[in-house]
Structures are given as C-alpha cells and as structure tokens.
Chain A
C-alpha cells in the first residue's frame, strides 16, 4: 500500500512539475526555462531508480538460487 502511494505521488508530480516550468517561462525550448522542469525529471529518475533497484534485487535472488 505504501509502495502504491509513493508511486501515485511521484507520478502525480510529473504533470504538476510543469507548474514550475510555466512559471519559469518555459517555452518548450531546452534551457530557456532555467531548468525549472527539474522536479519532473527528478520524479522520473525516482521511478527509474525504483525500477532498477527492483531489477537488481531480482537479479541478486536469481544468482543466489
């Protein structure tokens, strides 16, 4: 349940982070927004990290067996 809640919040953060981008004057051209899309990128990195961590654990178990 906790895991689901974290995934939900992180995923919710991706579109919500565009608020910072719009406020920072994001025009959709890289660099012009002073990288205010960083929270969204961080959320994406968190999800990727979680995925890789799970993959590593699975691999570890497989090697052990």
Chain B
C-alpha cells in the first residue's frame, strides 16, 4: 500500500476515533470510566478547552473525561510527538488535501516571511492567559467545531447558523491559511493551540532518549531539498547543505520520510 493511501486512511481513522457519529476514542474512555456507552462528539473531549485552562488551575475542575483525554494527548506527544496532528487530525488534513487543488503559483509560503515558532507560541501564550481574566475563547476560532459542522451538514443535512467569528475562522482556516497557503496548513502552523501545546511537549520530549523523534542522518543526506518541498508545515530546512527538522512545527506526518530518495530521515528513538 502506498504511503499516501496509508496517510489518508490515518485521517479517516482519526475521523472515526474523534468525530460524531462514531467518536470511538472518547466513547471507549467514557465506557471504561462509567460503564456507559454515551452519544459523544468532538466537544466531549475538546482539547482546546483543556489547553486554555492549562495554567489557570481550572484544568482539574473539568469533567474527568476531559482531563483523561487531555493527559493521554500530552503523554502521547511526549513519547511519540504530535502524531495526533500529523496522522489523525482530519480537520488539519482537509485543508492540506484541498490546497493540492490550487496551483502553487497562487499559494503563499508563509514560512519565507514569518518565523513560525514565535507566532505559534505567542498565540498559545495569549490563549492560556485569557482564562485569568474570566474569559474563554476556546470555541471562538475552533476549526474542529467548523469541521464537525461541515461533516454534519454533508452527512445529515444539519447545520447551525455561524457567528461572525466562525465565519471569519472558516475564511482564515479554509481560504487564507488553507487553499492559498503552501502545504495548506497555515492554520495548524499559526493558530491551533492544540498543535502548539503538542509541539511544545514534543520539543521537551526530544531531550529525552525514551521518546520517538524525527532524525536526519546527516552523513546520508545529499541535500536534494525534496523533504523541504514535501513538508506541508514548512518544518524541514537546509542547514550546512543538509536537511534539518524544526521540532517546533513538525507534525510527524511522514511526508519527508517518504520523499527522501536516500532514506536519510528516520522516525525513531
């Protein structure tokens, strides 16, 4: 089976695991905790709300299901990296696949003009500061919510009216940072707090030998830049004529591993 088909199947699995009508991940955890099989949705495990309450002490006031799901996300990110983003999140993948329909000459490569990590972590810092002022913005620019709405519409014909913030989010997520961005993952790069927190934990995990990470064997690398062109997040770059990986915005999608002609990039401990 080709890499691209495997990758696509991963996102389908992500949809089955996290989104209604299946939502098997949260339903299984809920069943393990309460013995009840409940009709849950993406909102039942909302990673954004927990991320927002990471510093203000209200994280552990949330429902136990919320806390358990979030702790699993952090543990997985620490050991395996941001695999939720790279292998499972169908919301991020949808704009990446849509962006392939638009010719490259119409797309902006934001990484050329803006350094991703400071903007990404700046947004995250603002996001976790907000609850200190008794305000919550987790749902305001949520692409998971929008993805859920679109899926509901196409599957069941059910739709809710969008607030101006959600219309703006749709515009930014699908159009500006989606189809007209190189790689189609501008929203993931700049605006997703769930991705940012995972990369922060991944960057920490990379310092330990027990965690899995992307490794470039510099002796094997021929500096062909194929990985740089293939990376949808713009996380691969050339340093001293060899490929290097930026852990602060790599989502471990595996495109670089697949593109490398000499198999110099490995995902291992």
Which positions in A face B, CB cutoff 8 Å? 3-5, 7-16, 18-19, 22, 27-30, 47, 50-51, 54-55
Contact = CB atoms under 8 A, between A and B. Distances in A.
B209 interface: no
B240 interface: no
Nearest to B110: A51
B118 A4 contact: yes
Interface residues of B, number: 25
A51 B137 contact: no
Interface in B85-132: 110, 113-115, 117-123, 125-127, 129-130
Contact of B113 (A8, A11, A13, A54): A54
Interface residue SS majority, chain B: helix
Interface string B141-176: 000000000000000000000011110000000000
Interface of B: 110, 113-115, 117-123, 125-127, 129-130, 133, 135, 137, 140, 163-166, 190
A51 B163 CA distance: 29
Interface residue SS majority, chain A: helix
Given A13-B126, A18-B130, A8 B121 contact: yes
* Residue among A12, A14, A22 with the highest chain B CB neighbour number at 10 A: A12
B129 A16 contact: yes
B236 to A, nearest CB: 20
Contacts of B166: 28
A28 B122 contact: no
Contact of A12 (B114, B115, B122, B135): B122
A47 B125 CA distance: 17
Given A28-B163, A28-B165, A18 B135 contact: yes
B118 A11 contact: yes
